């Protein structure tokens, strides 16, 4: 500063060789100063650009770390990639940035992002897919644009492999590819388990059901009795049904009978409870787990015996006994 004064930034930008006129600065150090200045200038330009379009400092830093010197170029080209690539930036934030960049509300780019967002939102309700027309309707409502634009965007996503179409049960379903693969994987594992013999000890089902009803004071419905029999005779059982149909009572009965039969030795002490959308284990089932496992833990997978909780994007409860 003493030598160049207010011209220091111009010198670094365009005449950096003059820095060697300062005592203690040689070619190597000059190059380091020049490189650091260029990097910081790029960061400053990116920050100014992002701030001018409503991006907070913390988000701007994450964007720069993700895209580096190409941050401005990337955001200008498609601001909706932020929702996919940057933690903490969702569709609505990306959409706000897009509007400030002048991207039209009825643009195909926005429609593409809106459809993806609608499918991601559906996963929060436990859906792996949505019917095609329902997805189009939801996206059009979200984006407040003509349905025809949404249809065109959806066809493009399907053509590019960004989404997957499959007709199931009379419905034209649209999947996110990774969830479609997950469904396939789960189905294959269930089929494999269903083909294996039960690992449970021999049980007189009718006597077990009668004993269970006396123990709990609850009369099981015909469908519950049938499901309970299948659970005690099968390697795997999938129980489906809406709220209040008796799924929790059924699982409670299964555990009660297995505990009475000293099933832990046959099953090597392992049980996994899969709970829809991360909700807590129903209280009756939780009480059964506490009675069954005297060394009980929800969090430490290394302790045995142990109960591990998993998320499953499917509208069913699964009790898997190994």
- In this predicted model, what pLDDT tens digit does every residue of 62-96 receive, in sequence order? 888 888 888 889 999 999 999 989 888 889 999 99
Q: Which of the four pLDDT bands, split at 50, 70 and 90, describes residue 172? A: very high
* Residues of the chain above pLDDT 70, percent: 70
Average pLDDT over residues 143-162: 95
Q: What is the pTM of this model?
A: 0.64
Q: CA of 153: how far to CAs of 94, 114, 126, 158, 265, in Å?
A: 18, 9, 24, 9, 56
- Give which of 294, 289, 290 is closest to 254, Cα–Cα: 289
Answer yes or no: is pLDDT of 202 > 60.
Answer: yes
Q: Which residues of 145-165 are buried (b: 16+ CB within 10 A; e: fewer)?
A: beeebbbebbeebeeeeebbe
pLDDT digits (tens, 9 = 90+) for 270-306: 555 555 444 445 555 555 554 443 333 333 333 333 3
**Domain ranges within the chain, ordered by starting residue:** 5-100, 125-177, 195-321
The CA distance from 97 to 86, in Å, is 14
CATH 3.30.70 fits 125-177, yes or no: no
Tokens, residue 256: 């009660």
Question: Under a CB-based contact definition with an 8 Å cutoff, are residues 107 and 119 in contact?
Answer: no
3-state secondary structure 8-66: HHHHHHHCHHHHHHCCCCCHHHHHHHHHHHHHHHHHHHHHHHHHCCCCCHHHHHHHHHH
pLDDT digits (tens, 9 = 90+) for 18-65: 665 666 677 777 677 667 666 667 677 787 788 888 888 788 888 888
Q: What is the pLDDT of residue 154?
A: 96
pLDDT digits (tens, 9 = 90+) for 279-289: 445 555 555 55
pLDDT digits (tens, 9 = 90+) for 3-24: 556 566 565 555 566 665 666 6
Answer yes or no: is pLDDT of 115 > 70.
Answer: yes
* Maximum alpha-carbon separation in the chain: 98
Q: What is the pLDDT of residue 256?
A: 82
The CA distance from 296 to 305, in Å, is 7
Residue with tokens 């392992």: 270
Q: Collapsing DSSP states into helix, strand and coil, what is residue 140?
A: helix
Average pLDDT over residues 125-139: 91
Strands, E assignment, the chain: 129-131, 164-168, 171-175, 236-239, 270-274, 306-310, 317-321
């Amino acid at each position: 500063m003493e030598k160049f004064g207010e011209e220091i930034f111009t010198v670094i930008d365009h005449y950096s060789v003059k820095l060697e006129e300062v005592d203690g600065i040689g070619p190597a150090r000059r190059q380091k100063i020049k490189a650091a200045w260029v990097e910081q200038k790029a960061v400053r330009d990116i920050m100014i650009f992002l701030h001018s379009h409503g991006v907070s400092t913390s988000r701007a830093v994450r964007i720069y770390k993700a895209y580096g010197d190409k941050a401005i170029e990337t955001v200008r080209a498609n601001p909706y990639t932020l929702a996919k690539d940057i933690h903490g930036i969702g569709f609505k934030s990306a959409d706000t940035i897009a509007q400030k960049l002048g991207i039209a509300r009825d643009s195909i780019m926005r429609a593409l992002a809106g459809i993806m967002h609608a499918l991601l939102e559906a996963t929060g309700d436990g859906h792996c897919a949505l019917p095609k027309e329902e997805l189009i309707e939801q996206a059009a409502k979200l984006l407040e644009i003509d349905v025809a634009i949404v249809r065109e965007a959806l066809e493009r996503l399907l053509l590019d492999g960004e989404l997957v179409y499959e007709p199931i049960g009379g419905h034209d379903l649209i999947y996110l590819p990774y969830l479609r693969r997950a469904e396939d994987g789960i189905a294959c594992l269930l089929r494999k388990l269903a083909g294996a013999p039960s690992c449970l000890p021999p049980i007189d089902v009718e006597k077990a059901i009668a004993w269970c009803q006396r123990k709990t004071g609850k009369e099981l419905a015909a469908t519950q009795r049938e499901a309970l029999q299948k659970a005690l005779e099968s390697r795997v059982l999938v129980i489906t049904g809406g709220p209040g149909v008796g799924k929790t009572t059924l699982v409670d009965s299964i555990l009660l009978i297995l505990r009475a039969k000293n099933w832990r030795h046959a099953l090597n002490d392992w049980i996994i409870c899969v709970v829809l959308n991360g909700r807590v284990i129903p209280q009756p089932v939780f009480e059964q787990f506490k009675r069954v496992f005297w060394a009980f833990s929800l969090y430490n997978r290394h302790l045995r015996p142990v109960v591990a909780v998993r998320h499953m994007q499917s509208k069913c409860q699964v009790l898997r006994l190994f």
